Structure 1
């Protein structure tokens, strides 16, 4: 069965996603504005407390927006964040680190995997910036990474089907391959057809709400239960659409 992972940013989104069929959650902050950065431990604690144990929560560990090449201090912060997420009870972490030449930084990844202390480690879409992703699959397997999140190198994963299929073939079951990047529910059958192990989407909607002076005026994004339900239905999870109305905000 193809795993459904939803990227969430708040407790309500986590609960809705779990209720509507998500198998796993990636917990992050500022997803629309930054592509996702490390969530607070308070948010992680609250999400873990609100969910059934069978839904794995994987915390994104990314200290800032921008490139995936990190200074010594930035890497040290990430190691601390990984350890904190593990202590809080996260089932795994989502990380990624590159050398200045754009290749995988094996020393940084090894430190993050070690800090995860046996929890699952996902290498995020930094993978899509690599010049030699096929070779990186072998390297990440050797480093102890459990899965890779990739769009197949395209802006939207539906446009990266060929490379997704190639990555699945290269992994040969040694590494889980999860398709993500601009995924819409209608894309899911084609993505599953490449042989990926999981599909990842944010399933979000924009809330146009000003924070006034000092609070920003761009609004924010949150989970849209209808999109989660449609994604679950595309994966053959029946009966989820009936639950949407009671999860929609009043």
Structure 2
């Protein structure tokens, strides 16, 4: 059975993911609007309290992954705080202005994580040589990468995913980006170690018309049916 990770935005979503058989969750804020930002300390603590394995996204602003020294210090502090609050892992990524891996910044964040798991996120999908980058990440001790194989959807990046797996660096390859239960079998067929999806649905926002700034598009929640279908799909034979 392949590891299933569900991206969630709160403790309620984590509880749904856990009940549906997820092995762990990536916890983030503003997923739909920004692609994900660092969750608040209270959200991390509440999500850890559900009993699911929590990996906190550490990304302090929208935009690219080139960070100033001051931003790296903030990110490192967020890493330490997340781990102190009980997160089993953190999800990080830093690049140089030219698009290559920022190994120095990544090493700082890795050191801040201590013994916690470290996943390098989809910043790897923007580099020109992902296999070389994977070797660099292995050299500095990153446990896994989250990648679509450089494609908008992981199901379209199978060749690159296969190349990353064939590199045999010891870094786990987790497929993520546009993953659905129906695309999971093709990802398993190339040998990924884990699959990652948001399993989200949109429900009516009771505050959409009020003064609180709700959105007409609704609220994003974790859909138990999608989690269950994704869990079932990970049992597909390779």
TM-score over 0.5 for the pair:
yes
Equivalent residue in structure 1 for 2:197, among 201, 219, 225: 201
Q: Which residue of 1 aligns with 2:84?
A: 87
Residue 142 of structure 2: aligned partner? 145
Q: 5 Å matches for 1:1-250?
A: 1-51=1-51, 55-170=52-167, 172=168, 174-209=170-205, 210=208, 212-217=210-215, 218-236=217-235
Alpha carbons 1:9, 1:27 under 8 Å: kept = yes
Give, in whole Å, the separation in 2 of the partners of 1:211 and 1:129: 38
Runs of 4+ residues over 3 Å off in structure 1: none
Distance in 2 separating the partners of 1:61 and 1:31: 12
Name the residue aligned to 1:246.
none
Q: Partners of 1:100 and 1:186 in 2: how far apart?
A: 36
**TM-score normalised over the length of structure 2:** 0.95
Q: Does the 8 A contact of 2:135 with 2:169 survive in 1?
A: no
Number of aligned residues: 233
Q: Which region of structure 1 is more displaced relative to structure 2, 87-96 or 71-80?
A: 71-80
Residue segments in structure 2 that go unaligned for 5+ positions in a row: none
SS of the equivalent of 1:193 reads helix
- Judging changes above 3 Å, is the alpha-carbon distance between structure 1 residues 126 and 211 closer, same or farther for their aligned structure 2 residues? farther
CA deviations 1:145-176 (Å, max 9, x no partner) are 00000001000111111111111111x15100
| In structure 2, distance between residues paired with 1:17 and 1:117 | 26
Q: Is the 8 A contact 1:62 1:78 kept in 2?
A: yes
RMSD across aligned positions (CA): 1.3
Q: Is the 1:211–1:219 contact (alpha carbons within 8 Å) kept by the matching residues of 2?
A: no
| Cα distance in structure 1, aligned partners of 2:219 and 2:93 | 25
Q: TM-score, normalised by structure 1?
A: 0.90
CA contact (8 A) 2:5 2:26 kept: yes
What is the alpha-carbon distance in structure 2 between the residues aligned to residue 205 and residue 112 of structure 1? 32
Secondary structure at the counterpart of residue 7 of structure 1? strand
Cα offset for 1:208? 3.6
